[in-house]
């Protein structure tokens, strides 16, 4: 059973389009994250939600809008895609009272904007 799953795994789209990435975790964790890993492999946090509440928003353009319908799901919607949005997007989860270091990552969504 996959602990943290993301769909789709690959996403190729044109500039200006709107797309969504979905994430689900079955670990019973209360905190979920979105990270972006760029072409230089730099992994940077974008958002963090705890029990459906936004707790971190790292100066991400407002074209990116996360949504957490419940604590097991955290989706990412991106409007008006740009070439610079091409990257691998990782979802992760953790249990807050166990410390944030034990983060479990999903397999990633490789987004290519043409």
Up-side HSE of residue 10: CA atoms within 13 Å toward CB? Answer: 1
CB closer to another protein out of 3 and 15: 3
Q: x/- binding map, residues 57-96, to another protein, per CB under 8 A? A: -x-------------------------------x------
97 counts as binding another protein under rule CB under 8 A: no
101 counts as binding another protein under rule CB under 8 A: yes
DSSP characters over 32-58: EEEEEE-TT--EEEEEEEETTEEEEE-
Instruction: Enter the tokens of residue 14.
Output: 């044109």
**What is the smallest separation between the CB atom of 80 and another protein, expressed in angstroms?**
26
106 counts as binding another protein under rule CB under 8 A: yes
CB closer to another protein out of 14 and 99: 99
Nearest to 22 by CA among 59, 60, 66, 80: 66
Beta-bridge partner residues of 111:
11, 87
Which stretches of the chain bind another protein, using CB under 8 A? Answer: 40-45, 48, 55-56, 58, 90, 99-103, 105-108
């Amino acid at each position: 059973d996959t602990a943290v799953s993301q769909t789709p795994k690959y996403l190729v789209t044109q500039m200006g389009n709107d797309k969504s990435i979905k994430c689900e975790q079955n670990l019973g964790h209360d905190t979920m994250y979105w990270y972006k890993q760029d072409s230089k492999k730099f992994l940077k946090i974008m958002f963090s939600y705890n029990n459906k509440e936004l707790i971190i928003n790292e100066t991400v353009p407002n074209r990116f809008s996360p949504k957490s319908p419940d604590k097991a799901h955290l989706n990412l919607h991106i409007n008006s895609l740009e070439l610079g949005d091409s990257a691998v997007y990782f979802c992760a989860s953790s249990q807050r009272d166990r410390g944030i270091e034990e983060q479990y990552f999903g397999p990633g969504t490789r987004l290519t904007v043409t």
